[in-house]
Amino acid sequence: MEPVNVGLLGLGTVGGGTFNVLSRNADEIARRAGRGIRITHAAAREYDPASVPGIESIRVTDDAFRVVDDPDVEIVVELIGGYSPARELVLQAIANGKHVVTANKALIALHGNEIFAAAQEKGVTVAFEAAVAGGIPIIKAMREGLAANRIQWVAGIINGTGNFILTEMRDKGRDFDEVLAEAQALGYAEADPTFDVEGIDAAHKLTILASIAFGIPLQFDRTYTEGISRIEAQDVEYAGALGYRIKHLGIARKSEAGIEMRVHPTLIPERRLIANVDGVMNAVLVLGDAVGPTLYYGAGAGAEPTASAVVADVVDVVRALTSDPENRVPHLAFQPGELSDLTVLPMEQVETAYYLRMQVHDEPGVMARIAGILGDAGISIEAIQQKEPAAGCTELPLVLLTHRVLEGRMDQAIERIEALPSVVGSVLRIRMEPLDG
């Protein structure tokens, strides 16, 4: 049987890794796929030929549309990233009847509904395992391995940059800005780190996970997003003293009221396995009603870990080339006509416990006034830590842990607390999740 021709869009870190993995493991991959798979075309405006040995043997152009429109190409692998021209290229490939593999989480999160509808109409597949958690096969695990389950919630460390920063802050007592600068120097964070540290990258990935978990359309605009830039070394220290670790989590949960989709710093009990995932590693914890909690751990980024997922998708597409399009694994786990229009809850309707830190004047009655405000809002206090003021200082940090309460109530309570003359500046809140089975 003739090999399948692949067109590769992008020869950067992941594109180069994909070319190298597919070339190095060609025989093993062919044994698994049942046919040879060869990259015959590539598109890149700039690339380092030394990093992709053998690239001179294929056709390389700076016009990605030439690859997409070439009749010899059967599968298009999109590794350019971003929203445009990635969207136009993918839609053109689908219109040309080509299967698509992509690692582009932003593209799927924002335009996936349109892309999957077009693919369904043309009878082609769009595979996107590498879009979430790099080399961890979390999409395949949820979509296929857990198909018998009602997924109850998903919680993941799905951005390695943020996890590296929080790990360094905990292990070495370093400040956020210092660790961020190191992450940029090491290549973990971009020159503009906004997508990583403010949670946008994780929100793209969580949007995809929530859709697969609960059978809802992709809805990135309804995902609550909060970053880690306000976390200070003292918060990491206080959390540790209380038996918790701070992680930047993406959480999707289904309740009777609707679907929660939220990315934010979170206190997790230190005994949980996911609380001990450190550095740039990723992990996703999934709770299914039949299987219970399952944890998926591994490299969330990098040339060859991500290429591992990209090539696995290419193998799946090749295996399915001759199958009936109506009987392929659905893009979002549920059959296209079976997606549910469940309500995605606004953040004020989400219930969780809280860590609160505030700076207060060292004077009598402060704690009583704060406790009174929380009590009026129906918020119970689980623990209090009041630190001694430094010599000659009239202010001290006060840390509280609360029981679960609706976010809207906590918003109102924090507004009243911040208005107290004895409270200096704003209150820092970090949500808490037990993540038990």
Shared-domain flag, residues 200 and 142: yes
pLDDT at residue 392 greater than cutoff 80: no
Helices (H) and strands (E) in the chain, counts: 14, 17
Q: Which residues are annotated as a binding site?
A: 9-16, 105, 190
- The pLDDT > 70 percentage for the chain reads 97
CATH code: domain of residue 120: 3.40.50.720
pLDDT at residue 327 greater than cutoff 70: no
Shared-domain flag, residues 273 and 145: yes
Shared-domain flag, residues 82 and 190: no
Q: Which of 13, 29, 140 is nearest to 79 (CA)?
A: 13
Q: Give me the mean pLDDT over the 305-322 stretch.
A: 92
pLDDT tens digit sequence for 123-132: 999 999 999 9
CATH code: domain of residue 406: 3.30.70.260
343 assigned to some structural domain = no
- The pLDDT > 90 percentage for the chain reads 88
Q: Alpha-carbon distance 113 to 175, whole Å?
A: 40
308 assigned to some structural domain = yes
Shared-domain flag, residues 150 and 235: yes
The model's pTM: 0.93
Range of the domain at 177: 138-299
Shared-domain flag, residues 155 and 260: yes
365 assigned to some structural domain = yes
Shared-domain flag, residues 326 and 290: no
Q: Alpha-carbon distance 75 to 99, whole Å?
A: 5
Shared-domain flag, residues 61 and 128: yes
What pLDDT score was predicted for residue 92? 98
Q: Alpha-carbon distance 293 to 261, whole Å?
A: 19
344 assigned to some structural domain = no
Shared-domain flag, residues 47 and 176: no
Q: Kindly give the pairing relationship between strand 423-432 and strand 259-269.
A: parallel
Shared-domain flag, residues 354 and 367: yes
The last residue of one of the domains, among 286, 317, 338, is: 338
3-state secondary structure of 193: coil
What pLDDT score was predicted for residue 317? 94
- In this structure, are residues 353 and 404 in contact, taking their beta carbons and an 8 Å threshold? yes
Question: Considering its fold, how many domains does the chain have in total?
Answer: 3
The H or E element that residue 205 is part of is helix 200-214
- From the list 98, 122, 205, 247, the catalytic residue is 205
pLDDT tens digit sequence for 48-100: 999 999 999 999 999 999 999 999 999 999 999 999 999 999 999 999 999 99
14 assigned to some structural domain = yes
**Residue 150: band (very low, low, confident or very high) from pLDDT cuts 50, 70, 90:** very high
Active site residue 205: yes
13 assigned to some structural domain = yes
Shared-domain flag, residues 245 and 146: yes
What pLDDT score was predicted for residue 324? 66
CATH code: domain of residue 168: 3.30.360.10
176 assigned to some structural domain = yes
Please give the backbone phi and psi of residue 216, each rounded to the nearest 5 degrees, phi first.
-115, 155
Please give the backbone phi and psi of residue 405, each rounded to the nearest 5 degrees, phi first.
-160, 155
Shared-domain flag, residues 150 and 107: no
pLDDT tens digit sequence for 160-191: 999 999 999 999 999 999 999 999 999 898 89
Shared-domain flag, residues 288 and 326: no
Please give the mean pLDDT across all residues of the chain: 94
pLDDT tens digit sequence for 340-390: 889 999 999 999 999 999 999 988 899 999 999 999 999 999 999 887 777
437 assigned to some structural domain = no
Least confident of 64-68, 326-330, 394-398: 326-330
Q: Which residues are annotated as a binding site for L-homoserine?
A: 190
Q: Which residues are annotated as a binding site for NADPH?
A: 105
Please give the backbone phi and psi of residue 331, each rounded to the nearest 5 degrees, phi first.
-55, -45
